[in-house]
Chains A and B, each alone.
Chain A
Amino acid sequence: MNWREKYREKIVSADEAVQCVKSKDRVIINLGGEPRHCLAALALRRDALKGVRLACSWVYDHPWFHPGFEESFDVRATFTTKATRQAIKERRVDWIPWLPGLGDRDRSLERDRGGVQQNADVAFIVVTPPDEEGYCSFGNQMWNGPNAVRSAKAVVAEVNERMPFTFGDNVHVSQIDYLVEAPVDSTSTSVPGTEWTTSNVEEWEKAQVIAAEAADLIRDGDTVQVGIGVPSESVIHYLETKNDIGIDTEVIYPQIITLMKKGIITGARKNVNKGKVIATAAWIVHGHPQEKETVESLDHNPTFEFRDFSYICNVPRIASNDNMVTINTLLGIDLLGQATVDFLGGFPIAGQGGQLEYCIGSHYSRGGRSIACLLSCAKGGKASRIVPQFEAGTGIGVPMGYVDYLVTEHGSVNLEYKTRRERAEAIISVAHPNFRDELRKAARQIL
C-alpha cells in the first residue's frame, strides 16, 4: 500500500480523532501551534474524560483554562502566556519549569520522568499536507513536534494547508495515526502566529537604542541567536553594516529574512550547518506588512533548516560554532549579575525557552559571547529593573557569571571576570541615573 492510500485511510473528523484519548492519558500538544479544531473537539469530551493530562505552551485560549474543567483535564504549561496567566494564578493550570535542550529521551523514558516533552500516550501536532513522498512538514512551528511523534503511542495530526512547507525534521504519513483536515475557510486555520501590535512607543524607542548598542558588540562572521523580546529582536535591524552573519536560534523573525535577502546573513563562516539558518520556529505576524512575504520565503526554502527544540538547545551543538553570540532580553538583573527571565516575585511570567542553554553554549564557544538586553526601568520609569537584590521568590534564569555583556539604553558593560564589587559598579553605571545613588548605597551594604 503506498502512502496515498494510507493517508486516505487515516483521515477522520476531529470528533473521531479525539476518541483515542482516554481518562488518565498523558497528552502532549505541539508547542507554538496548537491544533485548534482537534482541541475544541477534545474539550467537548469533558464529561466522558477524567484526569487527562495536557501539556503545551498554550498560545490560544481553551475552555480548560476556565472553571468547570478541572476534573477532566489536568493542564500543564511549559511557558506562561497571555492565555494561561490568569489560570495559573487561580491554580487551574500548573507551570512546569523545563529546559528544552536538556531533555534526553533515554532519561525521560525511565519511570517517573518525562511528561513534558515525551512519554505521552497521545501527541497532537499540526502539519502541512504531505509532499510527493508522503512527508509532512511542521510548517513554521516545529518546537517539540518531532520528539512528540517519536515517543507518543498515538499521533493525531491536524493538516493545515496554509502553513509554509519547511525543511529539516519532517514527519512521514506512516508515523501518524489519525489525520484531521482542518477546514480551509475557518479563521482558526490561519498560519500559527501572533497578532501585530504596535507596542508602547517610548519603550520601543528605548529598545532601539539598546539594540543599536548591542549590535556594536557583534562582529563580521559571528553566529547569532536572538531571543524573544523587543530589544533583542530589534538588534537584527542594526546588523546592516555587518558581513557573513550566521543564524542559529529558536525563532526566525521577519527581519532575519530581510537581511538574508540583502546578503548580510550568509552563515558562510559557521563551523557546523554552514550556509544554513537553523531554528525551530518562525514568527508569522498577522497583519504585519511583511506577513505574506515571510510565509512565501519560508515555503520550500532549503536555506532554512527547522529542527526539534531539543536539538536547537543542545549545549554542545551550540558551542560547536565559533563566535557564537547570544542576544536575549532580561526582565531584571541584580547587582551580582543574576538574571531573571521568566519568574518575578513568586510568579512565572514567561518561560525559560533556550536562553540558559544558549548562554552556556556561547560560554564554551571559541570567541563566544552572551549579551543581555535590558530596559533599565519598568512601570513607566517608576521602578528600576536593576535591583540590589531580587524580592523573595524570584526565579533566576541565568546564574551570575553567564551574562557577559549587559546593555541598557544607558550603555553597555562587560561583566566577565569582574569581582562582585566591580560588577556592581559596572551594572550601576548602566542603570537609569535616577536610581544610581540608591543602588550605590545598597551596594555598599551588601557587597
Chain B
Amino acid sequence: MERWREEFERKMISAEDAANMVKSGDRVAFTMGREAYAVGMALAVRKEELKDVKVYIHAPGYDLGWYDKGWQDSFEITIGQPTALVQDAVYEHDVDVLIHGLIPAGYPGLRGDAVGPDVLITEVSAPDDLGFCSFGNSLWDKKKQIQKSKLTIAEVNGNLIRTYGNNYIHVSEIDYFVPHVSTEGMPGKRGSLTGREFKEPPPYVKKIAGYVSDFIRDGDTLQIGVGRTTEPLVSLGMLDMKSDLGWHSEATPPGIISSIRSGKINGSRKTINQGKAVVTSIGGSSREEMEWVDRNPLIWLMEVEYLEDIRVISAHDNFVSINSALMVDLVGQIACETIGRKRYSLSGGQLPFACGAWLSKGGRYIVVLSSTVEGRNGPVSRIVPTFPPGTVSSIPAVLADYIVTEYGVARLAEKSLRQRADALISIANPDFRSDLRKAAME
C-alpha cells in the first residue's frame, strides 16, 4: 500500500476522539466556509468539562448551541462575519468580533509572526490517487491556517468537489481525519454543496442592475461582492448583451457560473490569468452547476491572500468592482459593516477591491444600495448627513467613486464636498431630499 494510504488510515479517528484533544484554555479555530459539523457537535457536547476555550468561527452557519447565553464560561466565541445566526449574540455582547485589515484572514491571522491556533478544524474531500485532498468549493486562507496551527483536524467529506488552482492539501499535512456526518436538513444551513437557494430580489434591484449595466463594457473584468443588492444583479440582466468578460472575485453570485458556461465570461481580454475565472470560493445555484464546476479547468480556486492582493487586482485593466453598502454619508464615507452599533456584515474584500479598481487602468469602483431601509417607524434614508454614532466607516470618502441607488448614479471621484453632497442627494429617495439638503447646508 502507498505510504499516504497507510498514513490516512492511521490518522482516521472518531469525531469524539478528535474533540477530546481540545483542552481547557485552548484556542480553537474553524476554517472559513462551512464549519466541520461532526467535530463541532462533539466539541459542544463537552460544555461541562471544558473551561475558557476560545473558539473562532469566521461565518457561523450552524447553531451548535454556544451562541446562547450560559455557554460563555466554556466557550468564548469570536466571529468574523456576523451571519444572521449570531447578529443578536454580537449585539448582546455574548460574541466578540475579530477586526483585521485587508486580508479577511481567519483567526489569528496571516501576517507576520502571528501565533496559530492550538487546534484547527477544517473540512476536506477524500484523497485522490496521489494523496491530495481538496477543500471543495471554498479555499479562502485554509492552507495558511494549516501551516500556522499546532494541530489540524479535517473532516473528510466525500461529496466535496475538486477544482484547479491551489485548492489542494496533502494527507501528510493534516494531523487527524474524522469521517463526515451529513448535515442534510439541518436548520441554519449555509453554503451547501448545491449553492445557495435563490431568493426573490427586492424590486429596486432591477433598476440598479440597469444603471450599473451602463458602466460595464465588453472586456471588463468583474468582481461582485456578497449582499442582498449585489447578488441578484446578474440574474436581473446586468450583463445582458455584454461579451468577453472576465471574473476575479471572492465567490460566484447566481448567474455567474452559467455565464462562464455560455462563454459570456471567458476571460479572453484579461491582462492576467487570461481565460480563467479566478475565485476563492464557488457556489452554484444547482447540483448540476456544481457538477459542471467539478474538475473544470476554466475555474481556478486561489488563496484569498492572492485574490485580494491589490497588486494582482490592479494588474487587470478595466477592473470593475461592484459592492454593496449599508449607508453612505454626504461626504462619501461608505459604511458596509454596521449601522450604529448593530453589526450586519463584514467589509470583506471591499477595500482591496476598491483600491485595486482605482489603480486598474480603466477601472471603476461601484457601490450599490437601496435608497431607503425599513426602520422601526417607517422607511429611513440610507444616504445620511452623518452616520449614527458607533457606525463603522468601512471605506474612506476619498475612495468613493460611483454610488448607485434605484434613483440613479452619483459620481464622487475627485469631487468637492459640496458637489459630493449634491450628487448624493440627487440619488436619495425624493421624500428625504429636502431634509438632506437642509442638513448639507449646515
Residues of A within 8 A of B (CB): 76, 91, 94-99, 102-104, 106-108, 112-117, 314-316, 319, 336-338, 343, 346, 348, 352, 356, 360, 363-364, 367, 389-393, 395-402, 415-423, 444, 446-447
Contacts and interface: CB of A to CB of B under 8 A. Distances in A.
A222 B93 CA distance: 40
A203 B412 CA distance: 38
A392 B386 contact: yes
Contacts of B363: 104, 107
Contacts of A112: 411
Contacts of A348: 417
Contacts of A395: 331, 333, 393, 396-397
Nearest to B332: A97
Contacts of B100: 401, 416-417
Given A98-B398, A99-B399, A399-B394, A314 B310 contact: no
Nearest to A117: B414
Contacts of A97: 331-332, 396-398, 417, 420
Interface string B358-399: 111111000000000000000000000111111011111111
Closest 8 CB pairs of A and B: A417-B109, A396-B393, A392-B386, A94-B416, A102-B358, A401-B101, A393-B386, A99-B398
B38 to A, nearest CB: 27
B6 to A, nearest CB: 37
Given A97-B331, A392-B386, A419 B99 contact: yes
A372 to B, nearest CB: 13
A318 to B, nearest CB: 10
Contacts of A337: 99
B97 interface: yes
Contact of A76 (B309, B332, B347, B416): B416
Given A338-B393, A356-B398, A419 B78 contact: yes
A417 B98 contact: yes
A364 B310 contact: yes
B111 A416 contact: yes
A355 to B, nearest CB: 10
Given A94-B416, A108-B414, A416-B109, A102 B399 contact: yes
A115 B412 CA distance: 12
A446 B414 CA distance: 34
Contacts of B332: 97
B361 to A, nearest CB: 5
A103 B105 CA distance: 29
A368 to B, nearest CB: 8
Interface string B4-43: 0000000000000000000000000000000000000000
Contacts, number: 158
Interface in B84-108: 93, 96-102, 105, 107-108
Interface string B325-336: 000010111000
A433 B417 CA distance: 38
Contacts of B186: none
A395 B387 CA distance: 10
A91 B441 CA distance: 10
A393 to B, nearest CB: 4
Contacts of B105: 417
A399 B396 contact: yes
Which of A117, A398, A446 is packed against the most chain B CB atoms within 10 Å? A446
Interface in B400-428: 411, 413-420
Given A102-B399, A402-B102, 13 more contacts: A96-B414, A97-B332, A97-B398, A98-B414, A104-B361, A115-B415, A319-B311, A356-B396, A389-B389, A401-B100, A419-B96, A446-B390, A447-B96
A96 B398 CA distance: 9
6 contacts: A102-B399, A356-B396, A393-B385, A396-B396, A419-B78, A420-B98
Given A97-B331, A364-B311, A395-B397, A420 B96 contact: yes
A417 B347 CA distance: 16
Given A316-B311, A399-B395, A416-B111, A106 B361 contact: yes
A360 B102 contact: yes
Contacts of A76: 416
A314 B358 CA distance: 11
B112 interface: yes
Interface of B: 78, 93, 96-102, 105, 107-109, 111-112, 114, 309-311, 314, 329, 331-333, 341, 347, 351, 355, 358-363, 385-390, 392-399, 411, 413-420
A314 B359 contact: yes
Contacts of A364: 102, 309-311
Contacts of A391: 389
Contacts of A319: 310-311
Contacts of A316: 310-311, 314, 359
A416 B114 contact: yes
B355 A315 contact: yes
A96 B420 CA distance: 9
Nearest to B101: A401
Given A106-B361, A106-B362, A392 B389 contact: yes
Contact of A102 (B359, B361, B362): B359
B179 to A, nearest CB: 32
Contact of A420 (B99, B311, B387): B99
A367 B397 CA distance: 28
B412 to A, nearest CB: 9
Given A396-B333, A419-B99, A102 B355 contact: yes
A417 B414 contact: no
Contacts of A444: 93
A421 B398 contact: no
Contacts of A367: 112
A60 B148 CA distance: 54
Nearest to B413: A113
A76 B415 CA distance: 10
B416 A419 contact: no
B392 A338 contact: yes
A279 to B, nearest CB: 21
Contacts of B351: 360, 399
A130 to B, nearest CB: 32
Contact of B417 (A96, A360, A400): A96
B99 A400 contact: yes
| Of B96, B111, B351, B398, most A-chain CB atoms within 10 Å | B398
A269 B114 CA distance: 24
B417 A315 contact: no
Contacts of B413: 107, 113
B396 A446 contact: no
B109 A104 contact: no
Contact of B355 (A113, A343, A360, A419): A360
Contacts of B398: 97-99, 102, 352, 356
B359 to A, nearest CB: 6
A91 B93 CA distance: 43
A319 B415 CA distance: 28
Given A97-B331, A97-B417, A402 B99 contact: no
A99 B362 CA distance: 17
A421 B78 CA distance: 10
Contacts of A117: 414
A423 B417 contact: no
Residue in A316, A352, A422 with the greatest tally of chain B CB atoms within 10 Å = A316
Nearest to B79: A419
B27 to A, nearest CB: 12
A114 B396 contact: no
B414 A114 contact: yes
A422 B107 CA distance: 13
Contact of A363 (B101, B114, B394): B101
Contacts of B397: 97, 395
